[in-house]
Structure 1
């Protein structure tokens, strides 16, 4: 992975980089897996009679049971302390918000991931992104990092180094690579050199 180079053109900024063939294949595999997880979540949504009448798509009212999906689709509201009306109030609020907004969130994540896949250089090599493409890449790579970080049990203070003989050590290296890829792209988007 090379650093991203921002090039200002008459049609707006462009972001150039290059990926080795194995990097492109790895990124394609990770993003495709994440899309599969999002599709599974969406397809398991219960049927809603109101959706059939109004066309308003609704989603789950309960958070995902899987920790990785819960990280990608977290609760909307987390009380800082006990609510006077009890914990049912926060739960009820989260259920309503999730039902209304989860389909939109899944669709936004899907669109970013599909845009990354569409602009990913097949077999690796040099490539160039528009600003919209670069934002989609940043979002999709972030989602993959969140998912992988959850699987690796990386906490809020950042990752600890895994011993080389740990079965997930290779995955940790992938997490670090995704972090660098995203950081360089965000710096390019911010026009930082």
Structure 2
């Protein structure tokens, strides 16, 4: 993939790059997998009898069992207070688990919608078979968000923690996936720099 190039036009900035055929196929497959995981998570939400009356959607109050989805939809409130904080000091006298459940129920549908919209924008703008890519500023922001979700999902599969993971032995079964992770990191970094008006 070529580095991103920002071009100013009469209709606003455009962000251009070019994908090789294998890159286009890889990105399409990965972002489609993320979309499928989001749809599956949404389908797991319990039915809300008041939704048809109030128009307010509610999400699944339970945290995801799948580790990858937990990475994409982490808890809102930490259950392990940092720096030895008071574990009994919760908002509205709720336990951390109850507070997280309430926040998930209220906000998860909108978060899933935002992630789905970004992933769909990315998938639909990938040139089939590779080729030239030109994004509006709004679509470029969607790409940055969607690539981040793809990276998080792949990072969970590779068990990449806060310290990162630079190298794997060449004969490791996941060695190729780590190369993809680093490629996604560069793709996202260069796009964000381009959005900020900086040279990659």
TM-score computed with the length of structure 1 as normaliser: 0.96
User: Is it true that 1:117 corresponds to 2:123 in the alignment?
Assistant: yes
User: Is it true that 1:83 corresponds to 2:55 in the alignment?
Assistant: no
User: Is it true that 1:63 corresponds to 2:67 in the alignment?
Assistant: no
Deviations 1:168-188 (A, max 9, x none): 111111111111110110110
Contact 1:154 1:160 in 2 (8 A): no
Structure 2 runs not aligned, ≥5 long? none
Deviations 1:73-120 (A, max 9, x none): 000111333422579621111100000100100000000000011111
Report the 3-state secondary structure (helix = DSSP H, G, I; strand = E; otherwise coil) of the residue aligned with 1:96.
Answer: helix
What residue number does 2:4 align with?
4
User: Separation in 1 of the partners of 2:123 and 2:65?
Assistant: 27
Contact 1:3 1:17 in 2 (8 A): yes
- From 172, 176, 183, the equivalent of 1:170 is 176
Shift of 1:138: 0.2
- From 141, 147, 152, the equivalent of 2:158 is 152
RMSD of the alignment, in Å? 1.4
Report the 3-state secondary structure (helix = DSSP H, G, I; strand = E; otherwise coil) of the residue aligned with 2:95.
Answer: helix
What residue number does 1:131 align with?
137
Aligned length: 193
User: Separation in 1 of the partners of 2:167 and 2:34?
Assistant: 24
Report the 3-state secondary structure (helix = DSSP H, G, I; strand = E; otherwise coil) of the residue aligned with 1:8.
Answer: strand
Report the 3-state secondary structure (helix = DSSP H, G, I; strand = E; otherwise coil) of the residue aligned with 2:13.
Answer: strand
Give the ranges of 4+ consecutive aligned residues of structure 1 lying more than 2 Å apart after TM superposition. 79-88
User: Is it true that 1:96 corresponds to 2:102 in the alignment?
Assistant: yes
TM-score computed with the length of structure 2 as normaliser: 0.93
Structure 1 runs not aligned, ≥5 long? none
Shift of 1:55: 1.8
